[in-house]
């Protein structure tokens, strides 16, 4: 190859056509999701879930901080998994998740700080099977993380909480009527 031949040289800052096309597709998708209202729905989903969890703290107070934190962690886990499973695309799901965690940080500061300092949430993610939540595994994880791994009663309580959280996310998503 001659030093004068530069057909394989790239100019710094040059955007490959594939990246440009991908950016165009993302911009188009963003505009589409804004216009059809899905991004607003995603933010409403996040706000509704946070408000619902805060109301559960009022309606069904748990004075044991470990149990209360686990109830919140189940909701965080269920919300994340179900949002990614049920929403029409990654952009809308990411908007909902980002809004959810942003609201958690401002609306439930104590929970946000506890989640940041506690690695328990990762144990719930082991309770998935092909993108779906294994409710029985999640219930057992709840009991174990509450310090009652051998308690059938706490496992049943965990099952109720897991079921309620999954069903709540599913119902809210359905009610918000996300567009495809």
Torsion on CA atoms 41, 142, 70, 121, rounded to nearest 10: -70
Q: Which residues of the chain have pLDDT under 70?
A: 1-20
pLDDT given for residue 146 in this prediction? 92
- Tell me the per-residue pLDDT of 126-156, one tens digit each, with 9 for 90 and over: 999 998 999 999 999 999 999 999 999 999 9
The two tokens of residue 84 are: 């990614």
* Whether the model pTM is above 0.85: no
pLDDT given for residue 20 in this prediction? 63
Other Cβ atoms closer than 10 A to 176: 18
- Strands 128-129 and 132-133, how do they pair? antiparallel
**How many secondary structure helices (H) and strands (E) does the chain include?**
8, 2
Cα 166 to the center of its chain, rounded Å = 12
pLDDT given for residue 23 in this prediction? 80
């Amino acid at each position: 190859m001659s030093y004068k031949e530069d057909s394989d040289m790239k100019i710094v800052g040059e955007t490959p056509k594939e990246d440009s096309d991908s950016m165009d597709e993302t911009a188009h998708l963003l505009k589409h999701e804004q216009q059809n209202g899905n991004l607003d729905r995603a933010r409403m989903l996040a706000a509704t879930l946070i408000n619902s969890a805060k109301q559960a703290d009022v309606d069904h107070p748990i004075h044991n901080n470990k149990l209360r934190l686990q109830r919140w962690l189940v909701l965080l886990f269920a919300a994340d998994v179900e949002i990614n499973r049920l929403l029409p695309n990654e952009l809308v799901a990411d908007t909902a998740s980002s809004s959810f965690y942003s609201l958690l940080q401002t609306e439930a500061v104590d929970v946000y700080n506890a989640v940041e300092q506690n690695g328990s949430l990762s144990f719930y993610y082991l309770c998935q099977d092909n993108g779906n939540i294994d409710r029985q595994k999640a219930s057992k994880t709840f009991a174990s993380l509450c310090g009652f791994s051998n308690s059938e009663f706490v496992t049943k309580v965990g099952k109720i909480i897991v079921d309620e959280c999954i069903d709540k996310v599913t119902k809210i998503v359905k009610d918000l009527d996300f567009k495809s």
